[in-house]
Structure formats: C-alpha cells, structure tokens
Amino acid sequence: MSHKLRLGVIFGGRSGEHEVSLMSARSILAALDRDRYQVLQIGITHSGDWLVGEDVLGALERGQAQRLSSATILPIPAYSGLYRFQAGELGLLLERLSELDVVFPVLHGTFGEDGTLQGLLELAGLPYVGAGVLASSVGMDKGLFKSVMVANQIPVVEWIIVLRSQIESDMPSVIRQAEALADYPLFVKPANLGSSVGISKCRSRSDLVEGLMEAARYDRRVVVERGISAREIEVSVLGNQSPQASLPGEIIPSREFYSYEAKYLDGNSELLIPAPLTPQQSETVRDLALRAYQAVDCAGMARVDFLMDKQTGALYLGEINTIPGFTRISMYPKLWEVSGLPYPALLDRLIALALERKAENDRSERKYGSVMQS
C-alpha cells in the first residue's frame, strides 16, 4: 500500500439505534490501524445533520455538536469526497475537506442500514463496507426478507404484516388477524429496525394492543410473529461472491428474550461460542446462513440469526443484519475471533472486500456501445 487509505467512518444516524451506532463506532475507531488508514470521522445527528471536526464521536456522545462543521458527500463521481460547509459573503460555500478512498458505514437501522446511504455512496462512486442497496433494503424489512426466504425454501416462523394506518384506524381487525395467526404468545416488532428496539412479547390481547402501538411508533410496517420457546443461534458471514460462515454462537439472554436492555444495558447476557450444537446442527445452521446471505445478494458482512425450537429442535431463520453490532463484545466480531480472525484483522478484511466489490462493479458497462453503420 503506497499511501494510507482515506477512510470515512460514518456513525450516529436518524434511527432508534443511534446510540448503538455510537457504541459500535467507538470500538471500530479504537481498533483501526492508523499506519494503514487516515481516518475521517463523520457523525450524523438524530435530526440528520452530517458533521465533521475534532473528535466527532465524543461530541455526539456528550451532546456537544455545536462546535462541529456541517458536511456532506456529493452524489457526483467527479466530485466524490468529503465536503464541509463554510460561511461566505454569498452564503454557504462547499469546501472539499478530503478525498475518500473507502467508506465504513457504522449506521444501524433506518437511513443507514436500509439501502438509503448505500444508494448515495453508489451515486458518488465510492467503495463502502457492507451490503449494497438491494441486500440492505431487503435485509432491513423483516416482512419482505421472510418472503424471500420462503421463496428460497428456507424455514421461517409464521408471520403477518400490518400497517400503522390499520393499527390506528381499525385495531379490532388487526387483533383478529394476529390471533388467527397463532395462539399467544405473539411477538410484535417494527419491520424496519434492529437492536430489539420496539419489540414486545405479547401473552394476551391487552399485551398485543400495547405491543402494536409500541412497534408503530418506530415504523409504518409492523410484523406480528408466532412466538416459540427458542434457543437463539447466530452465525457471522464474511465475503462477497464466495462468502464464509463462522462457527455458530448461542445467546443466553439475561431477560425473557434478547431485548434492548439485555443486549446493551444490564450486561448479564451470555454468549456461548461455539454454540452447544451437534456437528450436523452446526453444519445446517452455517449452510442456511450462507444460503440466506446469497439469496439477497449480500456482500461484505452480515450476522444471520436463527431460532431453534426448544421442544422440537426445528430451526427457523429469524433475520439478517447487514450492519451488525460491532462493539468488542458484539456477537459478529466475537464469532470471527473464535473462528480465528481477530477484531483488527476483521476490519482490514472488510475494507479490502469493499474495494474488491467496487472493482467488480466497475467492470460493468454503463452505456450501450454498439454503433449503427450507415
């Protein structure tokens, strides 16, 4: 490498997972090799302002973003890079702060993990870590993702999708649909969010009403899912066209299910790596994870989550997380660490995969070159 790669790390975002993003970013920034990368921190506030400056992460964590400068990335390949807004006599001016060789989005949830940011980076012609527009958007919407899994003969727990407008205008009809799906307990969750934000386990009709209203706070599409007593198994996948699956891990949540509090606040959940599975079960989980990854044309990385029925042993694919949690104790990097790839080396590999994917995409012709002969 003749020079340091100019690496833009984007974090924060307009999502209920904003704080989780900051946790992930802190771990990533601490582990990046400064001999290999010139790191540029790009923070996005809850309201969607892009900010640059000194210690952007610390400023967002402390709620002291006033001293930072507004910034943007332009959707124009000829002007790709990081720009800062400067006040001038004629109004705001754009100043090119730095070129960017590659971008590392560390944005969980909406406006970051759902294909929107990926679309901007595609328009800008910039390589970026992780899945493209298609896999990001399909992976984010839990209902649409389940439909794709069914089309690929991958087992999922029965579900229905209801709209926020239906919940607000005709709650009795929504309750009838949900109770026709399965007996209680039912799980209710926003279709487009992660980190267990807005998820409720409902044991009764009154729980269901509360759960539907809670999920509808975060998304216009809400998933209602049959509840099962399940073990929670996860697999990390890494790669582009020839992905690899890690050893499976199992989560023993400190609460009744792996809620936001169990993941990030109380610190008492256990991670069992490798998961206590038979060799056949482990192989099945890893195979299904790779099939799901390739079914949505994922790239770079993803954590694939499974539910294993405690009574029957039946395995169901839960969801795919295209930008999984990346703290030092998060399952995605922990699984790779136990599988033989330490955290700093994992970051290097993800950045290399981003450059590899951009080079592959650039091989595609962008205009029809045949010329009619007179």
Query: What's the confidence (pLDDT) of residue 209?
Result: 97
How many other CB atoms are found less than 10 A from the CB of residue 276? 10
5-128 has which fold? Rossmann fold (3.40.50)
CATH match of 159-226 with 3.40.50.720? no
Give domain limits for the chain.
5-128, 139-155+229-361, 159-226
Kindly report, residue by residue over 95-137, the tens digit of the pLDDT.
999 999 999 999 998 899 999 999 999 999 999 999 999 999 9
Q: Do domains 5-128 and 139-155+229-361 have the same CATH topology?
A: no
Residues whose CB falls within 8 Å of the CB of residue 299, separated by 6 or more in sequence, listed in order: 130, 131, 132, 135, 239, 240, 353, 357
pLDDT per position as a tens digit, 199-258: 999 999 999 999 999 999 999 999 999 999 999 999 999 999 999 999 999 999 876 654
**Which segment of 30-44, 263-277, 295-309 scores lowest on mean pLDDT?**
263-277
The span from the CA of 102 to the CA of 12, in Å, is: 18
Phi (first) and psi of residue 19, to 5 degrees: -65, -35
Whether domain 139-155+229-361 has CATH 3.40.50.10490? no
